[in-house]
Amino acid sequence: MIMRNKFDVELEDLNLDLIRMGARAEETITKVVSVIENCDMEGAKEIIEDDDLVDAMARQIESRSMKLIMKQQPVAKDLRMISTALKMITDIERICDQAADISEITLCVCKEIVIEKPKHIPKMGKTTAQMVHMAVESYVHRDMELAEKVIEMDNEVDRLYDVVKNELLEMAIRDKDKIDQIVDFLMIAKYLERIGDHAENIAEWTVFSETGVHKDKRIL
């Protein structure tokens, strides 16, 4: 019984670590929206510098998870929680990596803006930021309805990406001499689209943590 109580405490510590990492991703993606909209150079530099902190958080959660599996044979529900942590840290880490990538591109773009920023990129940023926030909240509160909303929202991000991509392709045909910056904006849009995918993944793993079902397939 004592061993089980200790295991429960360690499992809750793991849960709190995961929530803290999710909160860090929320903060990062909110900041990157400002970076995109306002050419916030200082914000961009902060995101790039803080990326190592997120990587360290991921490694700590990974280590905690493996120790919990080795220390005690977890029951199905506990194993779902640990498996969810191991899966979600990958998506959270990628969100922050891609925010850093966007920041690096923005630092270059904002030195000399030679084309008009595609008008749908800020909307993409706000939508993906909302998705990340809702995905983390769905996990914190075990809110399956909210998780499903996040999954549905990814279609809107994909639609916006297609709009931006087509707009930039048309621009590339008209202004071949501005191709470098056109590609930069296309990469920003692509990274935002990927962040939306990772938010969707977090929501799907939240559903799995409660049901044992992932993408309509029972796993645990």
Contacts of 32 by beta carbon, 8 Å cutoff, 6+ apart: 43, 47, 99, 102, 103, 125, 129
Identify whether 74 is part of a domain. Answer: yes
User: Domain of 115?
Assistant: 6-218
Structurally, the chain folds into a number of domains equal to 1
Average pLDDT of the chain to the nearest whole number: 93
Band (pLDDT 50/70/90 cuts) for residue 1 is low
Identify whether 125 is part of a domain. Answer: yes
Identify whether 168 is part of a domain. Answer: yes
Overall average pLDDT of the 138-162 stretch: 97
What's 172's domain CATH number?
Answer: 1.20.58.220
Q: Which of 122, 132, 135, 138 is nearest to 185 (CA)?
A: 122
pLDDT digits (tens, 9 = 90+) for 151-190: 999 999 999 999 999 999 999 999 989 999 999 999 999 9
CB 64 within 8 A of CB 14: yes
Identify whether 1 is part of a domain. Answer: no
pLDDT at position 57, please?
A: 97
pLDDT at position 83, please?
A: 94
Identify whether 192 is part of a domain. Answer: yes
